[in-house]
Amino acid sequence: EPEVTQTPSHQVTQMGQEVILRCVPISNHLYFYWYRQILGQKVEFLVSFYNNEISEKSEIFDDQFSVERPDGSNFTLKIRSTKLEDSAMYFCASLGQGRTDTQYFGPGTRLTVL
Amino acid sequence: DAKTTQPTSMDCAEGRAANLPCNHSTISGNEYVYWYRQIHSQGPQYIIHGLKNNETNEMASLIITEDRKSSTLILPHATLRDTAVYYCIVRVRVTGGGNKLTFGTGTQLKVEL
């Protein structure tokens, strides 16, 4: 069964550094998402992406964040200058087009900012 | 999206049915009920969704009351692997997709021997 994959599984970085989290959505899916989950808290929506542009973003998704689909397969989330409060699990999700609008989630990247 | 209310936690014996309730009294006519689960910080996993009719798939059954103000997710024979946080989400279904999911705190289901 096709699945969403994410790399790395765990990223440790110093405050102020840039990080890029990578996702490979399910092929032929057209909608892509990033969510995050701070330890012990809810899963929060960050951004959705369709047709090579952001379709919706939350208040969390400020100028420090950006997303890109650099080629036909990868979908990336960049945090330009990480803060301690960016430490969280980051989940990528993708969605196909059709009768069902089920979002499929990846296993997540645990980001630790020191 | 309509607000949902779920119990914080529930226990279930392995092999028994797990019945997880969700209250969504402000649901509007074009909003669907979705269920996802999250096993120990893994990515959320889709379970089932419905509008007004009861639905069943290989994972679970979804029972929606006639007035649509509440629903119950049923795992017919719970196993230890079903221990997870279960999220009930109500939202408009956009044809062709695109909508974000808004997660609440969910119900922590613990399946025990």
Residues 27-86 of B with CB under 8 A from A: 38, 41-46, 49
Burial of B77 (0-12, 13-18, 19+ CB in 10 A): exposed
Question: Using the beta-carbon criterion (under 8 Å), do B38 and A43 form an inter-chain contact?
Answer: yes
Candidates B38, B89, B99, partner chain A, best to mutate (most A CBs within 10 A): B99
Question: Using the beta-carbon criterion (under 8 Å), do B43 and A93 form an inter-chain contact?
Answer: yes
pLDDT recorded at residue A21: 98
Mean pLDDT to the nearest integer, A65-85: 94
Shortest distance between the Cα of B100 and any Cα of chain A, in A, equals: 7
Q: Considering only CB atoms, which chain A residues are within 8 Å of B103?
A: 42-44
For A20-62, the pLDDT digits (tens) are 999 999 988 889 999 999 999 999 999 999 888 998 999 999 9
- Residues in chain B, pLDDT under 70: 1, 93-98
- Return d(Cα B102, Cα B113) in angstroms, integer: 33
For B5-27, the pLDDT digits (tens) are 999 999 999 999 999 999 999 99
Query: What DSSP string runs through B30-90?
Result: TEEEEEEEE-TTS--EEEEEESSS-EE-SS-EEEE-TTSSEEEEEETT--GGG-EEEEEEE
Whether B102 has its CB under 8 Å from any CB of chain A: the answer is: yes
pLDDT at A99 over 60: no
